Amino acid sequence: MWNGELIDLDAYLDRVAFTLDPDADRATTLRGLHRAHLAAISFENADVRDGVPLALDVPSLQDKLVARRRGGYCFEQNLLFAAVLDRLGYEVTGLAARVLLNRSGPDLPRTHALLRVDRRWVVDVGFGGGGLLEPLPLTAGAVARQGDWTFRLDHLDGTWTLRSFQGGEWVALYDFPETPAVPADYAIVSHYLCTHPASKFRGRLLVQRTDEHARYNVTDLELTETRPNGEVVKRGMTVDERATVLREQFGLELPG
């Protein structure tokens, strides 16, 4: 399903600066790959903003995110990562989440892609709202400290909710059932997000990267740094300043 046989694994590993250790166990390798991917490949929506059609097949994802050293949003990032994990022999299940960011309500659509790996890990390298730095055990009440960030996974009535401790409170990031999703499901939702006039990904540039200590966001010409303690610093940029920030802080050379 994930077409791992189509991935150029050596090129991907070079892109994320990760060396496979044949003596490492599966969990250690998964954790290292997850962190390496996040450190190297930023979340960005420049193609969606510019009306460029997105292809979600593995060769296209490899060309964009690996060969051309671009970033992407959740469907691109997690489908590429799924192919890598499939190639390495992990059991990968696609899942679909409803982005909350402290909102609630059953009417919110499930517009975010994430992965369940080996039936025991929540894996997500494509969340633009400040998600996991490394896999989280798929266990009710699981709490993990990842750098300065702390995450918790709750389970109620068949639905999992991922929360992040920020500014002294638990912020609900997204929720999801364990109903499997396939690449065709993601393609339909991605098409909607790329084309619907109400999509938040259209009309403005969104770039995001999270490290051990902070989340960095570019929204059009504004740079925001958010820390787990709730501290937020914002500053405006010129177009030239933004190009420098994208290159030096996010590793991106974007078109236009």
CB atoms within 10 A of CB 77: 25
74 catalytic per annotation: yes
Q: Residue 82: left (phi > 0), alpha (psi -120 to 50), or beta? A: alpha
Give the DSSP letter of residue 72.
Answer: B
Q: For residues 189 and 194, give the distance between their C-alpha atoms in angstroms, rounded to a whole number.
A: 9
Element (H, E) at 27: helix 26-40
Residue-level length of the chain: 256
Find residue 239's DSSP bridge partners.
none
Find residue 150's DSSP bridge partners.
145
| Tokens standing for residue 101 | 């960011």
CB atoms within 10 A of CB 110: 18
Which of 37, 47, 74, 194 is catalytic? The answer is: 74
The long-range contacts involving 231-237, CB below 8 angstroms and separated by at least 24 positions, are none
Which of 37, 124, 175, 194 is catalytic? The answer is: 124
Which of 34, 47, 112, 175 is catalytic? The answer is: 112
112 catalytic per annotation: yes
211 catalytic per annotation: no
In 3-state terms the chain splits into helix, strand, coil percentages (rounded to 5) of 30, 30, 40
The 3-class secondary structure across 136-197, one letter per residue, is EECCCCEEEEECCEEEEEEEECCEEEEEEEECCEEEEEEEECCCCECHHHHHHHHHHHHHCC
Catalytic residue IDs? 74, 112, 124
